[in-house]
Amino acid sequence: MDERQALLAFAALGQEHRLRVVRALVTAGPDGLAAGVLAETIGIAGNNLSFHLKELSHAGLITSRREGKSVIYSAAYAGLSDLIAFLMRDCCQGHPQVCTPAVAALAACACPTGDTAHA
């Protein structure tokens, strides 16, 4: 991830509903959530949700796939991992104890490996 991509991702996450969407999708795991369930989960109308989903998708933070009549949204774990890696790339500067809490927090996560992109 380069700086331009990181800025796009941070801009997308810098809005309350979008941050809630990403957190809900990370919590939902690779199976994701249907758009209607997602709107209900974060407490916004479906038409407002569409705008936010477009921004998050454009930033590479979520993916979507069609299942019958439903559109299912999932966290783009590769994009989120790239963003974390961008932040941590130059961490420590010879002092590993600085990064230890962040690394430990990620290690404790039962996070999916790889991307579950279906777009």
Which are the contacts of 96, defined by CB distance < 8 A and separation ≥ 6?
Answer: none
For position 118, what pLDDT does the model report? 37
Q: How far is CA 44 from the centre of its chain?
A: 18
Q: Could you tell me the two tokens for 84?
A: 């974390």
For position 9, what pLDDT does the model report? 97
Residues in the chain with pLDDT values less than 70:
110-119
For position 111, what pLDDT does the model report? 58
Class for the domain spanning 1-110: mainly alpha
Tell which residue, 60, 71, 67, 72, has the closest CA to residue 29.
72
For position 98, what pLDDT does the model report? 82
Using CA atoms, how far apart are residues 116 and 3, in angstroms rounded to an integer? 24
Which are the contacts of 19, defined by CB distance < 8 A and separation ≥ 6?
Answer: 13
In sequence order, which ranges of 1-119 are alpha helices (DSSP H)?
3-13, 16-28, 35-42, 46-58, 77-88, 100-107
For position 112, what pLDDT does the model report? 54
